[in-house]
Structure formats: structure tokens, C-alpha cells
Amino acid sequence: MPFTHGELLKTAAKASQWPEGDLPEIIFTGRSNAGKSTLINALVNQKNLAYSGKTPGKTRLLNFFLIDSRLVFTDAPGYGYAIKDIESARAFSSLIDPYFNHRKNLRGMILVLDARREPSEEDQTMIEYGRSAHLPILVVCTKADKLSKQQISTNITKISNVLNVPESNLLQVDSLKKKGIDEVYNAIERMIKPS
């Protein structure tokens, strides 16, 4: 059974607002509409947890969710068309750079992708962030229910090649029907396991 409880711990625009403590942390990133909120909600079996971070004014912030009092999910703003203008790109990187460079308890990164789409430049940039911080990287391909088995397998291979991430680090889910969620849960448990 995946996690059972999540609550919004903190929203942060800058490092001084990050929550204190040393619980292991997982960062979730992805293009707007990729299905990041739905995935987080499915992982904790709560309908509206991650949507609480999507209210106006909070979309440019990092949202920290405390999960079962033992780990933290950090939800990064969804990127997309908006990031194409220089000012939003700057705002995004000034939020994300210090986090990836200095967050000591950061233990892994989950990149959320729509299984139907080719990874974007921003997706590739996020992978680079994860690599520079020497994090384990898991790519979760959502909306698998919208593709045939054959299409999924073709797309997974393509995504793996474009991002240069081994297929073993790619998972597919249908977050609405909660298919594949246990596998994501297991991958997170592996990331946070003390070494």
C-alpha cells in the first residue's frame, strides 16, 4: 500500500523558507498538465492534496508536503509555455537552482511526463539538474491508459533515448485508476532507504 497521509507543510519562494529538519526529500518536476498533481494525490491516496499547491499565487513556489511524518515531497512549479519568456525562466531557475544545489536531504528526483509526448527541452534541462546533483532519477510516464501497449512500449524507448535515462528507470502509470502506483511507491522507498 502506498503512503497514507500527506499534508502541506510549507510553501517557499526562497531558501530561508524551506522547512527545517532532516527528513528525506523527493522532488517532483514536470511540464504543466503532465499529471504531477494527480500522481502525488494517487501516491498518498488523497484527492486534493497536490491541488492545494495550485491555488493562484502559489504556482511560482515550491510546495513541501509532509508524507506519513517520515518523508517530504517537494512539488516544483509545472513548466510549460510560460517558461518560454525570459522573465519566467529566470524566476523558475532562481527558485530551483538553490534547491538542487543546496538541499542536503534531497534524495531523489521524479520527472513526470505525459506518456504520449516527446520530452521537451525543459524536461531535458530538469534531467540535467538531477544529474548535476547526483540524484537517482525516476521518470514516471502518466496517462498510459490513453495508449495501446504497443504505443507505450515504443514511446518508452523513445523517451529513454531522448533523456538518456535507462528504461529500467522509467515507469508508466494510469494515476486515475492507480495502475502502476505501487511501483512508483517502491522506487521512492528505494531512494530514501538509508545507505
From the list 13-21, 125-133, 138-146, 162-170, the region that binds ligand GDP by CB under 6 A is 138-146
CB nearer to ligand GDP: give 13 or 176: 176
Q: Is 173 in the site for ligand GDP (CB under 6 A)?
A: yes
C-alpha–C-alpha distance, residues 145 and 12, integer Å: 34
- Kindly write down the DSSP assignment for every residue of 24-63, as one continuous string: -EEEEEEBTTSSHHHHHHHHHT-SSTGGGGGSTT-TTSEE
Grid coordinates belonging to 54: 495550485
Q: Is 175 in the site for ligand GDP (CB under 6 A)?
A: yes
Binds ligand GDP by CB under 6 A, chosen from 18, 25, 26, 37: 37
Grid coordinates belonging to 104: 542536503
**Size of site (CB under 6 A) for ligand GDP:** 17
CB nearer to ligand GDP: give 33 or 132: 33
Grid coordinates belonging to 37: 498533481
Minimal distance, residue 152 CB to ligand GDP, in Å: 12
Q: Is 36 in the site for ligand GDP (CB under 6 A)?
A: yes
How many Cβ atoms are within 10 Å of 122's Cβ, its own excluded?
A: 18
Q: Is 120 in the site for ligand GDP (CB under 6 A)?
A: no
Binds ligand GDP by CB under 6 A, chosen from 9, 26, 27, 34: 34
Grid coordinates belonging to 69: 511524518
Q: Is 142 in the site for ligand GDP (CB under 6 A)?
A: yes
Minimal distance, residue 60 CB to ligand GDP, in Å: 14
Phi, psi of 18 (to 5 degrees): -65, 145
C-alpha–C-alpha distance, residues 110 and 169, integer Å: 10
Q: Is 30 in the site for ligand GDP (CB under 6 A)?
A: yes
C-alpha–C-alpha distance, residues 65 and 48, integer Å: 12
C-alpha–C-alpha distance, residues 63 and 60, integer Å: 9
User: Within 74-113, which residues bind ligand GDP (CB under 6 A)?
Assistant: 78
Return residues touching ligand GDP (CB under 6 A).
30, 32-38, 78, 142-143, 145-146, 173-176
